[in-house]
Amino acid sequence: MIHLLQNETKRNETKRNETKRDKVPADRVTRFAADLLESAAVEGARHSRSAKQQLDHWARVGRTVSSHQSAAQRRVEAALAGTLDMVELSPEERLVANAEVDASITERLSAVHYGDVLAGEGVTTVALDGDGHLVRYDLDGTTTRLD
């Protein structure tokens, strides 16, 4: 009797898990940076892939590479942490380290508005506006077109 109950419990659990898997959509709406999407479209066309397929490919390759801890990866991480000089990395390791730095900078630039940071520190800034005009942003919130 106990054996029958255990089997029935296992069957019910399997059905619940299958039902949960069936309800998970194959794809989910995800936002990507415009430059990444454009690069995926160009690279994907070279390999007869759509931009989505190229992004999926890159994500899978990145997941596999990231999941394998290697001596080279540890060396790159040490260089990024500042405990190993970049000149001690092989050309391939430097390529990976530079790509990591580039990705980190790009992510931070998209998340921080440096004009607000500088204004908070009392610095008047000058920058190009959306139309390409040189504009001074004063601390009181006023702007002056300079060209």
The residue that leads in pLDDT, 120 or 3, is 120
Q: How do the domains of the chain map onto residue ranges?
A: 70-111, 115-145
* Distance, CA of 72 to CA of 100 (rounded, Å): 14
Q: Which helix (H) or strand (E) holds 38?
A: helix 34-46
3-state helix, strand, coil split of the chain in percent (to 5) is 65, 5, 30
Residue length, the chain?
A: 147
* Distance, CA of 41 to CA of 97 (rounded, Å): 25
Per-residue pLDDT tens over the stretch 118-144: 888 999 999 888 888 999 988 888 889
* Distance, CA of 78 to CA of 59 (rounded, Å): 24
Averaged pLDDT, 78-106: 93
Note whether 75 and 92 are within 8 A (CB).
Answer: no
Per-residue pLDDT tens over the stretch 6-44: 555 555 566 555 555 555 567 788 888 888 999 999 999
Strands (DSSP E) found in 55-142: 125-128, 134-137
pTM to 2 decimal places: 0.45
